[in-house]
Amino acid sequence: MNSSKKLVALVRGLLDADPHAVEDAARNSARSRGDRQDDAKQDAIEVLQTLREREREALVQFFLREKTGAEICSAFGFSDEEFQELRMKVKARFLARRKSRRRVASAGL
């Protein structure tokens, strides 16, 4: 899978975590779908860039290569709790960026 397809798959996984994604799409119908997807992609990239290489690669293995949590923990030396915390941290950062973007958009900035 090439890198752009990996990113799209990862972004889709993060979007699935955003319960407001469909609601936002309806509210922001004046914006093109491509613009919204670009925003989500940029948010995902920015979140991933905040991670250490090891964390990023573990998430790629988990979400894109569909490795199990146990396989990831074994390969990268995470405990189950550490890997769960990493996934929760990334999800929270992504959702915070999406929420911030929604606030800015609704304020017309």
More confident residue, 29 or 35: 35
Tens digit of each residue's pLDDT (9 = 90 or more) over 38-75: 777 888 888 888 899 999 999 888 888 889 999 999 99
Amino acid at 102: R
Q: How many domains does the chain have?
A: 1
Indicate the pTM of the whole model: 0.64
Instruction: Tell me the one-letter amino acid at 79.
Output: S
Report the sign of the C-alpha dihedral through residues 55, 56, 61, 64, in that order: positive
Question: Where do we find the tokens 């709790």?
Answer: 81
SS3 call for 50: coil
3-state secondary structure of 27: helix
- Domain holding 84, by residue range, is 3-106
